Chains A and B, each alone.
Chain A
């Protein structure tokens, strides 16, 4: 089990004083301190860990964020920034001696500019909220994490969120132009703007994916893109993971860049089909969802080429979506995968390693062996174009030994990802969950350097301090 730093007793002892200090800075309803009302903030998308925070602050302006952070800094109080609390790695998990800085009141879209193709939004706007705001004019915001209905853009920046369409459109870092952010010392930073490639060091790039270790993001300038004329998906079912993997290689080698290329193994196919009734082939060992974009003629031509490629690998079934409704159903199954697993298992853990795509068959085989060893079922979903693997480990949280085994199983999978040349996390972040595994991927001097960079922004280690870096060696 993950360990946590000991609460600072002097901070706990000053609880009333700290809450009074926060109340002096914010509107009367913007500080939560009653135990019952703190409860909803005790966890995030990784609910195996729970900590009731000291208090929750709900600022509405960047200046208020700065004043709260200045106050907490002056008083040696830890701060945990929080958007919608959807982090799957425990990125928003509080500490007993920390103030949660909830960003949900930052929900305004400040500017939309179609001529220059950007939008300025506050950090608490949901991911889907950006696309909703520009959809009627044919535009969209590209990164589409599965949690996009709930997750907030500030958290997307913090985690450098991806999604199913990264192969063509990139991740959050590739779709940002500017940030307004506040340091733990209360300094407001304005980075980038409505143009690309700001001079100076690439602060935008460094802050994106920094998991709330460096700054609190309050405002984001994102690129918005005009949508394609249309998009259509096809399904192809194969006799083995190996064969499906070879088909992925052949697609990439053909020069076609599908907008999405998703892989599901047999357990994932069954769970998602039961949930979404998307017509997934239940007799297949592996399924590819391949999506292309363009005019109807372009879609037809690309899908015909893809069909010809798939046919070389003796598919069990192939189906071209005939309508937008059918494509939506296909995606509903994939994007609802986590919920679908939730229906067949009391609890599950979603892992998030990345591997070189050529190692997929071997990695899936070894995950299967581990599944037998640990006696826990696993379903695998894979962004096949970019190598991002999501094994969903099923367990029963009411049985402590099952939960502990799931954690060890997950850690073994991530070690395997690193061993084959990949990494611990492709899009969910390190958070609390993978903190102690960082030494598998990085050397001690490399971790020392990253800690020193954290201290550039947060010299006293007060901002989200118990995440990302192994506890031993962190100045807590």
Chain B
């Protein structure tokens, strides 16, 4: 049975009841990311789905407040009507994770997922200006507010973002939003190997042209994106007013001449390609494979994916200038160990994003912390969720 209280007080009541019964809660929004990270064993399930709706939207102040259960699709529609957008371009991973429903804003904030624009304009956590939540004792708390600049007190917004529902039930979020670009376009370089491609992406991101997306798709991944020619695809996006997009794409093409002839993608094909990249569509559609999401120093991306493709036959593509590695491989412990060891050795971080329950219960799904930080994590959990009620085991087996 999934409880879906319609408001914050209902959520508070549900948590208080669970505390009284000392029964843990599996937290979810629409459930689009339920198969992420470690499975949660819980007697009760709480969905924030019904606690939904835009509470406040002030386009002239670039600020929007919505209840946790508000679907991303609804927010995008509301914002588009005023010519604005969600800055971090959150992905819709529902299809990849085998879920029918689309993501909610509460789920996106709780997982701190961001799309291609993260590289230029920051991630979901960067635009989270205010939050309301219920902690693991059933107490409502707030942090931040509804203004764009606020350093008053400790920043619990960022603490909650990406905490995977283990520190509090997010009930309402306030986000900075920005004007949506008039148009977009992309430079497309065909046939580069990963090393040359990431060098090209670095050159583009190091140019003065405000690149807002920088991805590399091996040939098999490019073939899954509509409208791309055969061969590997190196894509560089510009979003702005139309004359700026035209000018900047032309200048980028000149500056990247050493990387071979470049094509330009117009607004529509560019948007389609970046939507596919955002949602990890370039990965093979193999429901039984596991999927890892790695974040590394961009220039260490090529060596990492070369090694892992050779070693375990992993399929991949790169976003964030080479720094975000989406990786797919058969779901077994040996592969997990090979991938996580190589990523850690490269100084990066990793997340087992999708895997059968058997694998995700038997391995670390994110890196374990060194002892000093792990102790701080435990003490933080003691403050926010002393009874270990909220999403137990979702991030770390012992918490």
Residue B362 at the chain A interface, CB threshold 8 Å: no
Please determine whether B142 and A446 come into contact, CB atoms closer than 8 angstroms.
Answer: yes
- Name the residue on A nearest B166 (C-beta): A201
Please determine whether A195 and B323 come into contact, CB atoms closer than 8 angstroms.
Answer: yes
| Across-interface contacts of B145 in A (CB, < 8 A) | 354, 421-423
Question: Can you give 30 A-B contacts (C-beta < 8 A)?
Answer: A115-B298, A116-B323, A170-B122, A195-B348, A196-B118, A197-B112, A197-B123, A197-B295, A198-B295, A200-B373, A201-B167, A202-B159, A202-B161, A205-B157, A206-B156, A206-B159, A255-B83, A255-B179, A255-B241, A257-B178, A294-B244, A354-B148, A356-B63, A358-B61, A383-B149, A429-B151, A450-B154, A453-B159, A456-B376, A456-B382
Q: Could you say which of B60, B149, B150, B367 contacts A200, with CB atoms under 8 Å apart?
A: B367
Q: Could you say which of A139, A294, A468 contacts B153, with CB atoms under 8 Å apart?
A: A468
Q: Could you say which of B123, B149, B180, B297 contacts A116, with CB atoms under 8 Å apart?
A: B297
Please determine whether A356 and B179 come into contact, CB atoms closer than 8 angstroms.
Answer: no
Tell me the chain A residues, 183-207 only, with Cβ under 8 Å from chain B.
183, 187-191, 193-206
Residue B14 at the chain A interface, CB threshold 8 Å: no
Residue B288 at the chain A interface, CB threshold 8 Å: no
Q: Could you say which of B142, B210, B366 contacts A228, with CB atoms under 8 Å apart?
A: B210
Known A183-B372, A196-B123, A357-B60; contact A202-B147, beta-carbon cutoff 8 A: no
Please determine whether A227 and B163 come into contact, CB atoms closer than 8 angstroms.
Answer: no
Q: Nearest-CB distance from B391 to chain A (Å)?
A: 13
Residue A442 at the chain B interface, CB threshold 8 Å: yes
Known A170-B126, A226-B206, A301-B243; contact A193-B348, beta-carbon cutoff 8 A: yes
Residue B152 at the chain A interface, CB threshold 8 Å: yes
Measured in the bound complex, the distance between the Cα atoms of B151 and A424 in whole Å is 8
| Across-interface contacts of B119 in A (CB, < 8 A) | 196
Measured in the bound complex, the distance between the Cα atoms of B61 and A383 in whole Å is 12
Known A196-B123, A205-B125, A387-B61; contact A189-B153, beta-carbon cutoff 8 A: no
Please determine whether B158 and A355 come into contact, CB atoms closer than 8 angstroms.
Answer: no
Tell me the chain A residues, 245-261 only, with Cβ under 8 Å from chain B.
249, 252-257
Please determine whether A117 and B376 come into contact, CB atoms closer than 8 angstroms.
Answer: no
Q: Spot the interface stretch: A11-19, A70-78, A158-166, A366-374.
A: A158-166
Measured in the bound complex, the distance between the Cα atoms of B87 and A167 in whole Å is 13
Known A173-B158, A228-B208; contact A197-B152, beta-carbon cutoff 8 A: no
Interface residues of B (CB under 8 A from A): 58-63, 83, 112, 114, 118-119, 122-123, 125-126, 135, 139, 141-143, 145-159, 161-163, 167, 178-180, 182, 199, 202, 205-208, 210, 241, 243-244, 247, 295-299, 320, 323, 347-351, 366-367, 369-370, 372-373, 376-377, 379-380, 382-383, 395
| Across-interface contacts of A210 in B (CB, < 8 A) | 154-155
Measured in the bound complex, the distance between the Cα atoms of B343 and A198 in whole Å is 12
Please determine whether A423 and B376 come into contact, CB atoms closer than 8 angstroms.
Answer: no
Q: Could you say which of B153, B182, B241 contacts A438, with CB atoms under 8 Å apart?
A: B153
| Across-interface contacts of B142 in A (CB, < 8 A) | 442, 446
Known A196-B323, A298-B244, A356-B61; contact A226-B207, beta-carbon cutoff 8 A: yes
Interface size on A, residues (CB 8 A): 93
Please determine whether A441 and B153 come into contact, CB atoms closer than 8 angstroms.
Answer: yes
Residue A96 at the chain B interface, CB threshold 8 Å: no
Measured in the bound complex, the distance between the Cα atoms of B247 and A229 in whole Å is 12
Q: Nearest-CB distance from B356 to chain A (Å)?
A: 21
Please determine whether B383 and A117 come into contact, CB atoms closer than 8 angstroms.
Answer: no
Residue A427 at the chain B interface, CB threshold 8 Å: yes
Q: Nearest-CB distance from B114 to chain A (Å)?
A: 7
Measured in the bound complex, the distance between the Cα atoms of B60 and A396 in whole Å is 39
Measured in the bound complex, the distance between the Cα atoms of B296 and A252 in whole Å is 35
Please determine whether B112 and A202 come into contact, CB atoms closer than 8 angstroms.
Answer: yes
| Across-interface contacts of B112 in A (CB, < 8 A) | 197, 202
Please determine whether B349 and A199 come into contact, CB atoms closer than 8 angstroms.
Answer: yes
Please determine whether B247 and A197 come into contact, CB atoms closer than 8 angstroms.
Answer: no
Residue A218 at the chain B interface, CB threshold 8 Å: no
- Name the residue on A nearest B142 (C-beta): A446
Q: Nearest-CB distance from B195 to chain A (Å)?
A: 12
| Across-interface contacts of A201 in B (CB, < 8 A) | 159, 162-163, 167, 377, 380
Q: Nearest-CB distance from A307 to chain B (Å)?
A: 16
Residue A430 at the chain B interface, CB threshold 8 Å: yes
Residue A43 at the chain B interface, CB threshold 8 Å: no
Extra A-B contacts (18), CB below 8 Å, given A294-B244, A442-B153, A456-B383: A170-B122, A187-B372, A189-B373, A194-B297, A196-B320, A197-B114, A200-B395, A201-B159, A202-B125, A202-B163, A206-B158, A208-B155, A210-B155, A226-B208, A295-B247, A386-B149, A425-B152, A457-B376
| Across-interface contacts of A193 in B (CB, < 8 A) | 297, 347-349
Measured in the bound complex, the distance between the Cα atoms of B153 and A426 in whole Å is 11
Q: Nearest-CB distance from B70 to chain A (Å)?
A: 21
Q: Nearest-CB distance from A211 to chain B (Å)?
A: 8
| Across-interface contacts of B379 in A (CB, < 8 A) | 456
Please determine whether A226 and B141 come into contact, CB atoms closer than 8 angstroms.
Answer: no
Please determine whether A298 and B247 come into contact, CB atoms closer than 8 angstroms.
Answer: yes
Residue A275 at the chain B interface, CB threshold 8 Å: no
- Name the residue on A nearest B395 (C-beta): A200
Known A115-B202, A205-B159, A456-B379; contact A189-B141, beta-carbon cutoff 8 A: no
Residue A209 at the chain B interface, CB threshold 8 Å: yes
Please determine whether B147 and A445 come into contact, CB atoms closer than 8 angstroms.
Answer: no
Measured in the bound complex, the distance between the Cα atoms of B167 and A202 in whole Å is 12
Measured in the bound complex, the distance between the Cα atoms of B205 and A138 in whole Å is 12
Tell me the chain A residues, 139-198 only, with Cβ under 8 Å from chain B.
139, 159-160, 162, 166-167, 170-171, 173-174, 183, 187-191, 193-198
- Name the residue on A nearest B371 (C-beta): A187
| Across-interface contacts of B141 in A (CB, < 8 A) | 445-446, 449
Measured in the bound complex, the distance between the Cα atoms of B152 and A167 in whole Å is 19
Known A199-B351, A210-B154, A387-B147; contact A456-B380, beta-carbon cutoff 8 A: yes
Q: Mark A345-359, 1 if CB is under 8 A from B, else 0.
A: 000000000111110
| Across-interface contacts of B148 in A (CB, < 8 A) | 166-167, 354, 385-388
Please determine whether B149 and A430 come into contact, CB atoms closer than 8 angstroms.
Answer: no
Known A187-B372, A202-B112, A203-B373; contact A257-B179, beta-carbon cutoff 8 A: yes
Q: Could you say which of B83, B153, B182, B208 contacts A430, with CB atoms under 8 Å apart?
A: B153
| Across-interface contacts of B153 in A (CB, < 8 A) | 430, 438, 441-442, 446-447, 450, 468
Q: Nearest-CB distance from A253 to chain B (Å)?
A: 6
Measured in the bound complex, the distance between the Cα atoms of B153 and A430 in whole Å is 7
| Across-interface contacts of B377 in A (CB, < 8 A) | 200-201
Residue A297 at the chain B interface, CB threshold 8 Å: yes
